[in-house]
């Protein structure tokens, strides 16, 4: 009912710097001096597309990367400094053809009107492959970069940030629908470029902002670009269930995966979205080598280089591509519809995903041989919705 079509599993890769391990940039094949160049990101996305992946995500934030969730850590031994994720996605879009592009965006300090047209434009420049992963920011340092608001405090603080994110996504979605598909008419006889009855004020009014609309950007190829969110607890699960098309979750075993999926499905019901397909992807940090034991060795070596074992919110998997394929298929049985793999190192683990894991999954008929459709919604089995404002006729 609430999971999209079963059978195949969906695969995404989460791109971040030189990989997710803090010492990944020191690997011989890493390109740490090129992280701010267009060619670096283009190469990675082309590699992901070569593996037939559904989409890539681009991590982002509004402060320097930090191991400390509250403040700048001042470290000089890890990758610091980055580019705006929406712009990276747009820069890569014309150079790729099939793969979905999902930049991360902080909603707490940004304007829903600006972001709506940015993602709609990403959808235009990619011919229907845009998504956005929304995240909230409770970081005092990010708030100080904007100086515009006190972050909510007290017991409801987190819930408030996520409630605001839900309002934000509602505004994105309304703005994406604010032009009906056939609004542009170019009627020479009457001199009208558009039929203005097919453009709609969205008149959103909420606790944090109100937005009048319509968007300045016409409805994009997908109509509704894909919305994703990462979630670790009930409050963000509610955002996934109530607002998103894809949730990224971090179970550490199959039983947790089943419980999380069940909770999201339940919350979907309370949000009245039971009929909406919502993907639930498991996030995994992956170390992959065909030779048994190699991946764990690499992990140990990089942990030592970093001076501490790297702990991530997601389960860290070190093994062979075949072992990972076993795990993915097993967890798929628990109800996960796909996985977002975080390569521990780039390019090595990315290439292991595209060149070893994917062929293994194809061999098991769990992953398609090639791209069969041209939009991200299509890849995810989501229909293209008509605008909510289209008059039924």
Partner 1 sequence: MTRPVKPVHLAAHFPGVNNTTVWSDPRAGSHIEFGSFAHFARTAERAKFDFLFLAEGLRLREQHGKIYDLDVVGRPDTFTILAAIAAVTDHLGVAGTINSTFNEPYEVARQFASLDHLSGGRAAWNVVTSWDAFTGENFRRGGFLPQSQRYERARTFLHTTWQLFDSWHGGEIAADKASGEFLADPDAGRFRHHDAHFDIEGHFDVPRSPQGRPVIFQAGDSEEGREFAAADADAIFSRHSTLTAGQDFYADAKRRLAKYGRSADELLILPAATFVLADTDAQAAELAHDVRLQQVSGPTAIALLEQLWNRDLSGYDPDGPLPEIDPVLGENTTARGRASVRMHRDPMATAREWRARAAAKNLSIRELIIEVTGRQSFVGSPATIAATINDYVQADASDGYILVPHITPGGLDEFADKVVPLLQERGVFRVDYTGTTLREHLGLPPRREAHPAAARPAARARTTADGTRAAS
Instruction: Map the footprint of partner 1 across residues 264-323, applying CB under 8 A.
Output: 305
Q: Which is nearer to partner 1, 109 or 254 (CB)?
A: 109
**Residue 283 beta carbon to partner 1: minimum distance, rounded to whole angstroms:** 23
Q: Which residues contact 156 (CB under 8 A, 6 or more apart)?
A: none
Residues 190-219, interacting with partner 1 (CB under 8 A): 190-196, 199, 208-214, 216-218
Out of 48, 122, 132, 376, the residue judged to bind partner 1 by CB under 8 A: 122
Report if residue 391 touches partner 1, rule: CB under 8 A.
no
Q: Which is nearer to partner 1, 50 or 80 (CB)?
A: 80
Beta carbons of 344 and 286 less than 8 angstroms apart: yes
Report if residue 383 touches partner 1, rule: CB under 8 A.
no
Residue matched to tokens 């971090």: 250
Residue matched to tokens 């098309």: 245
Out of 48, 56, 92, 285, the residue judged to bind partner 1 by CB under 8 A: 92
Out of 1, 5, 69, 76, the residue judged to bind partner 1 by CB under 8 A: 76
Question: Residues touching partner 1: how many (CB under 8 A)?
Answer: 81
Out of 3, 46, 110, 389, the residue judged to bind partner 1 by CB under 8 A: 110
CA distance 239 to 169: 9
Q: Is the peptide bond before 347 cis (omega within 30 degrees of 0)?
A: yes
Out of 6, 67, 68, 114, the residue judged to bind partner 1 by CB under 8 A: 114
Report if residue 93 touches partner 1, rule: CB under 8 A.
yes
Out of 127, 256, 274, 276, the residue judged to bind partner 1 by CB under 8 A: 127
- Strands annotated E in 59-183: 100-106, 131-135
Stretch that binds partner 1, among 189-197, 251-259, 268-276, 284-292 (CB under 8 A): 189-197
Residues 29-48, interacting with partner 1 (CB under 8 A): 30, 32-33, 36-38, 42
CA distance 47 to 51: 7
Query: How many Å separate Cα 110 from the centre of its chain?
Result: 17
CA distance 141 to 143: 5
Out of 8, 50, 72, 254, the residue judged to bind partner 1 by CB under 8 A: 72
DSSP state letter for 293 = T
Element (H, E) at 241: helix 234-243
β-strand partners of 283: 340
Beta carbons of 222 and 126 less than 8 angstroms apart: no
Beta carbons of 86 and 69 less than 8 angstroms apart: no
Residue matched to tokens 């994720």: 85
Q: Which is nearer to partner 1, 85 or 257 (CB)?
A: 85
**Residue 193 beta carbon to partner 1: minimum distance, rounded to whole angstroms:** 5
Beta carbons of 247 and 240 less than 8 angstroms apart: yes
Out of 10, 21, 98, 117, the residue judged to bind partner 1 by CB under 8 A: 117
**Residue 33 beta carbon to partner 1: minimum distance, rounded to whole angstroms:** 4
Q: Which is nearer to partner 1, 185 or 233 (CB)?
A: 185
Out of 63, 256, 274, 276, the residue judged to bind partner 1 by CB under 8 A: 63
CA distance 256 to 358: 25
Report if residue 82 touches partner 1, rule: CB under 8 A.
yes
**Residue 351 beta carbon to partner 1: minimum distance, rounded to whole angstroms:** 19
- Strands annotated E in 72-215: 100-106, 131-135, 184-187, 192-194, 204-205, 210-211
Out of 1, 153, 188, 275, the residue judged to bind partner 1 by CB under 8 A: 188
Q: Which is nearer to partner 1, 62 or 322 (CB)?
A: 62
CA distance 135 to 299: 28
CA distance 178 to 188: 24
Report if residue 86 touches partner 1, rule: CB under 8 A.
yes
């Amino acid at each position: 009912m609430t999971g999209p079509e079963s059978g195949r599993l969906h695969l995404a890769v989460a791109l971040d710097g030189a990989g997710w391990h803090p010492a990944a940039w020191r690997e011989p094949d890493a390109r740490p001096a090129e992280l701010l160049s267009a060619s670096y990101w283009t190469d990675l996305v082309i590699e992901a597309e070569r593996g037939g992946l559904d989409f890539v995500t681009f991590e982002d934030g509004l402060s320097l990367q930090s191991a400390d969730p509250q403040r700048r850590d001042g470290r000089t031994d890890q990758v610091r400094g980055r580019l705006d994720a929406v712009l990276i996605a747009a820069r890569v879009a014309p150079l790729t053809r099939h793969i979905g592009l999902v930049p991360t965006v902080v909603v707490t300090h940004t304007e829903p009107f600006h972001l709506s047209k940015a993602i709609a434009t990403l959808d235009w420049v990619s011919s229907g492959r845009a998504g956005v992963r929304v995240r909230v920011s409770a970081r005092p340092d990010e708030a100080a970069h904007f100086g515009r608001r006190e972050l909510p405090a007290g017991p409801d603080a987190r819930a408030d940030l996520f409630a605001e994110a839900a309002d934000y996504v509602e505004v994105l979605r309304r703005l994406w629908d604010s032009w009906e598909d056939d609004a542009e008419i170019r009627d020479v006889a009457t001199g009208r470029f558009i039929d203005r009855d097919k453009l709609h004020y969205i008149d959103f009014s909420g606790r944090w902002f109100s937005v009048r609309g319509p968007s300045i950007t016409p409805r994009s190829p997908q109509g509704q670009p894909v919305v994703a969110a990462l979630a670790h607890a009930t409050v963000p699960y509610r955002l996934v269930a109530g607002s998103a098309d894809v949730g990224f979750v971090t179970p550490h075993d199959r039983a947790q995966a089943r419980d999380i999926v069940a909770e999201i499905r339940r919350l979907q019901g309370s949000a009245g979205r039971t009929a909406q397909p919502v993907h639930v992807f498991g996030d995994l940090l992956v170390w992959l080598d065909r030779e048994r034991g190699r991946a764990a060795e690499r992990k140990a070596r990089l942990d030592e280089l970093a001076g501490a074992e790297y702990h991530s919110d997601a389960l860290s998997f070190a093994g062979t591509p075949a072992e990972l394929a076993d795990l993915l298929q097993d967890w798929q049985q628990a109800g996960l519809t796909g996985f977002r793999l975080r390569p521990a190192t780039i390019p090595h683990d990315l290439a292991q995903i595209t060149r070893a894991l994917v062929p293994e999954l194809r061999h098991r008929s769990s992953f398609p041989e090639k791209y069969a459709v041209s939009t991200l919604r299509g890849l995810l089995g989501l229909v293209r919705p008509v605008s909510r404002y289209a008059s039924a006729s």
